Amino acid sequence: MSLRYLTAGESHGPALCAIAEGFPAGLQVDFGAVNDELARRQRGYGRGGRQQIERDEAQFLSGLRGGETLGSPIAVVVWNKDHQSWKELVSPYARGGRKFTQVRPGHADLPGALKYGFDDARDALERASARSTAATVALGALARQLLLRFGVRVSSRVTAIGERERKVGLPPDAAARAAILASDLGVDDEAVAAEWRALIDAEKARGGSIGGAFEVYAEGLPTGLGSYVHPDRRLDARLAGALCGIPAIRAAEIGEGTRVELRGDAFHDAIHHDAARGFYRDTNRAGGLEAGVTNGAPLVVRGYMKPIPTMTKGLATVDLASRQATTAKYERSDVCAVPAAAVVGEAVVAWTLADALLEKFGGDRVGDIEQAIEAYAARVR
């Protein structure tokens, strides 16, 4: 591992923060672009009241000078505006409010309380909350800027909300990317977005919640990132782990990996070569990875998000204190957060790819990496 990071923070505590170590020197960071990613993560049809309160911004504390990375640890904070209303309830210095005992099926409430010995599930759910993904996205934004410097572009598209997915498998072109960025459902087809909005509205009226799926792409990757020599060096395994590390993501797919109905000759991508393009394939069912190694085709991976566990229609549960039957607690919640999860998916994929790139090409200074990539590209043509 060349790049590593930690995040810390509770959903209603003072802030989310992150430290990244191993980021190379010499990258001029576009702070506006970092905040654009944070804003993207907050958007999306179906989100709850919290996003009206927050306006996430990254405050960098270290590791840069005049906007340029120094190779030293980068610390970043995203403040919680909502903490103002919670500072007597959730803080390193205060604990208050009624205990949260009507534990929600599908959330961290019960397993977290039992595991750590809490009589108030808030002690678990505050950290389990996907609010932490604001810190992840701030770091992911740095990784995507680093990748872009080497010609690698990361993007995504939502492929399902509460219905069978409409897989695309191809990175969006410039026009589609602009449409996806402008869409409140992360898709480049307004007719589909309208259908999904109606599904979310119906689910909200029913008091329920709804999940979905998204594709993340990376174009311009050099061949040879990751390795087959050991399981924990396989890039497919690392990407699947990164995607499933996002709260509520329950499955990941690499390329057309779940197409179990296809026979081998219909599944695998025939290899061609010409002087202009080097090695290439006309199809990409491998999703850009063979044997855990990038093969020069666009990376295509998918994340599958379960429906949000907090619902106004509270499920049957058991009270943590009395052990009596009750109904799950509802305070406030998203009905659907798949578009936001896709933005987080981009961030974790960008981070994982940046890690693999630094591993292969060395990681002290951006210019050195650039030279190493060029020399290598000439060898593998």
Ligand X SMILES: Cc1cc2nc3c(=O)[nH]c(=O)nc-3n(C[C@H](O)[C@H](O)[C@H](O)COP(=O)(O)O)c2cc1C
CB 54 within 8 A of CB 340: no
CB of 305 to ligand X, least distance (A): 7
Q: Does 50 bind ligand EPS (CB under 6 A)?
A: yes
Alpha carbon distance 357, 352 (integer Å): 9
Q: 11 touches which of ligand EPS, ligand X, none (CB within 5 to 8 A by kind)? A: ligand EPS
| Residues in 279-308 at the binding interface with ligand X, rule: CB under 6 A | 306, 308
Query: For residue 225, how many C-alpha atoms fall within 13 Å in the half-sphere facing its CB?
Result: 32
Question: Going residue by residue from 213 to 252, which x/- string records binding to ligand X, judged by CB under 6 A?
Answer: ---------------------------------xxx----
Q: Does 342 bind ligand X (CB under 6 A)?
A: no
Q: Does 247 bind ligand EPS (CB under 6 A)?
A: yes
Q: Does 34 bind ligand EPS (CB under 6 A)?
A: no
Alpha carbon distance 209, 250 (integer Å): 16
Alpha carbon distance 15, 131 (integer Å): 10
Q: 37 touches which of ligand EPS, ligand X, none (CB within 5 to 8 A by kind)? A: none
Q: Does 133 bind ligand X (CB under 6 A)?
A: yes
In degrees and rounded to multiples of 5, residue 309 shows phi and psi of -70, -30
Q: Which stretch binds ligand EPS (CB under 6 A): 129-137, 161-169, 180-188, 233-241?
A: 129-137
- Sign for the CA dihedral angle at 339, 341, 347, 349 comes to negative
Of the pair 64, 90, the CB lying nearest ligand EPS is at 90
Residue 80 in tokens: 């919680």
Give residues with Cβ within 8 angstroms of 20, minimum separation 6. Answer: 3, 4, 5, 63, 73, 74, 76, 139, 142
Output the known binding site for NADP(+). Answer: 41, 47
Q: Which stretch binds ligand EPS (CB under 6 A): 47-55, 171-179, 187-195, 197-205?
A: 47-55
CB atoms within 10 A of CB 311: 21
Q: Does 215 bind ligand EPS (CB under 6 A)?
A: no
**Interface residues with ligand X (CB under 6 A)?**
48, 106-108, 128-130, 133, 246-248, 306, 308-310, 333-334, 337, 340-341, 344
